[in-house]
Amino acid sequence: MRKQEKIHHNQRKTIRTFVAIEPGENLKMLLTDTIEKLKRMGFKGNWTKPENIHLTLFFLGNLNMHKIVDIAYKMGERISGFPSFVYDVEKLGYFAQGDNLKTLWFGVHGGKTLEGIYSEVKKSIIFNSIDVSKETFVPHITVGRIKKYPDHWKALLGSIDFEKIEVPVDSVGLYSSTLTKKGPIYKKMYTIDFEGGVIING
């Protein structure tokens, strides 16, 4: 492939992309402990790996690199100078269809500050001609997608309790997601730091 053809090929290549906030180590520990409890109770599923845990703001689908760069720098314009804050993780919840358990998650409460950062990121995405205007934000962190569970699963989930933890936030990340047979592989492409602006991660 000639150099010019290679450049055009790379421009056409798309990357599965999402915007998220990284967790703290205390959240990774909570995830590991909770999954171990669920396994002992008889729950089986595709569990979130500690290195993959994150608070998703937007899933953007497949984008070319030019679009990803534009979004990163527009986010930098909008959220540079945003105050650092914390969000709370305070319960284990679930999504179900009737009595069929589908997904387990940690509930997140970040108040007006988390809603504010979501709003600014949303404006950055819409500015780059990606329509996320109808999306609503239900902040949660996926623990696992469930394949098998005990008959009395609601009572068992109700017995899992933990002390509220606080997760500090001082940046937002723009990630790639590569799907493999062993599960997704996430890589942070850009960090949009509240104080330091846009940082290229590779």
Catalytic residue ranges = 54, 140
Host H or E run for residue 56: strand 55-64
Host H or E run for residue 108: strand 100-109
3-state helix, strand, coil in the chain (%, to 5): 35, 40, 25
Closest CA to 16 of 189, 193, 150: 189
Helix spans in 42-88 (H): 65-79
